[in-house]
Every structure is written in C-alpha cells, then in structure tokens.
Chains A and B, each alone.
Chain A
C-alpha cells in the first residue's frame, strides 16, 4: 500500500527541539518531493517547507527560517523535520505530504504527528 508513515507523538518543553520523521512506503523515494505542513488546534493548515530527495535541497517558509531544518536520508529513504526553539504556539499536528515533481499539490499525506509543547 502506497503511504507515508510518520513517527509518533512528542511532548517537549519550551526551548527544546523536536524531530519528526516521515518514511515513504511502496513508492520510489526519489521521485517525489516531501513537504511539511502543520495544523495548530482549530487553525488552518500552514506550509512549513519542502525537501527534494534528489540532492536534498530545501526551501522554507519565511516564518520558519532559522528554526526549521529538513533533511533526507537516502540510505533509509526517510525525511526528517527538526524544529528548534519550541514555544507553546508550536503545539500542532505536523504532516508530511508528497508532491510529484512541480505539480504544486499534495497527493498523499502522512497520518500526522502531534507535537505538544508544554512546561
């Protein structure tokens, strides 16, 4: 079954960092870009950035520049998103989602990872 599987829920203290992983399954890892989108409680979806498996180049939304790092590990076909300097407003469900080339839409999403930031 074609899917993307994310790592489990995390609870972090303010100021800490969190790393969320996303592993594609049953499709060719290198053929798709991976985006990260988050959804705070009751809020709209918010795009964070993109990582391209071939070459690993990234683009980040201006809001997250300096705080987010997206990487890919080709040996394990896994994509990681690390967000640092966590604050309570970062409490959200974080989704990875794939894009096939420059299509500008996300045709497959991970199940989401809840990150809770609380002291």
Chain B
C-alpha cells in the first residue's frame, strides 16, 4: 500500500480553512488511519487516530474524515501554530507494517 498526500504544499492565511488529503493505493481499514503534525526540528505529534478521533489535548478545530481509499484532515480555522508538516499513516498487517505518506507542508501565505 502507498499513501499519497496532496497537495505537497498548501499556502493559507491564519483564520482560513485547510483541507489536506491522504489517498491510499488500495482500500484500507479506517481504524488504522492516523494523522501527525511535525514542526521543524521536532518529533511528530499525534493528532488523529482511527481516521477521526482526536488525540488527547488536540483542539477541536482539527477533524478527520474518510474511508476506503480517501481520507481528509481538516483544520477549520488556522492558528499561527498550525503551520507545519502533516503526515498520514496506515498500519498494514504483515511485512509492510506502518506506512507513512510523504507529507503536506502547510505554510503561511
């Protein structure tokens, strides 16, 4: 399975809505679809698991949706601290293990 994220870079202003896509090369179990946020020089931070469940402490402006091959991370109103790189991740039983998308960079316009 390959996870492809789009767009590669998204340029928006604070207060705007961000929609990030993660597409799987074949249908996946949404229970295992995860989103992380990573800022420069930092470790990834868990945002969403099970496709739509927010992790502890994650603001409700972050939401996840989707099923099958298409998943979306939405940030309803961008705050300055939301500009970062976002990765989706899928668990695939067997030798593939845990697979990550290539990331979407969310930058300030």
Contact = CB atoms under 8 A, between A and B. Distances in A.
Contacts of A49: 97
A86 to B, nearest CB: 22
A36 B96 CA distance: 14
Given A44-B100, A112-B43, A104 B87 contact: no
Determine which residue in A59, A95, A105 has the highest number of CB atoms from chain B within 10 A of its CB, and name it: A105
Determine which residue in A45, A47, A108, A110 has the highest number of CB atoms from chain B within 10 A of its CB, and name it: A45
B43 A109 contact: yes
A16 interface: no
B32 A104 contact: yes
B55 interface: yes
Interface in B41-96: 42-46, 49, 55-56, 87, 89, 91, 95-96
A44 B103 contact: yes
A111 to B, nearest CB: 6
B101 interface: yes
Contacts, number: 57
Interface in A69-119: 95, 97, 103-112
B100 A45 contact: yes
Given A35-B98, A45-B100, A47-B97, A106 B32 contact: no
Contacts of B18: none
A46 interface: yes
Nearest to B91: A104
A95 B43 contact: yes
B43 A103 contact: no
A107 B58 CA distance: 12
A28 interface: no
Interface of B: 31-32, 34, 36, 42-46, 49, 55-56, 87, 89, 91, 95-103
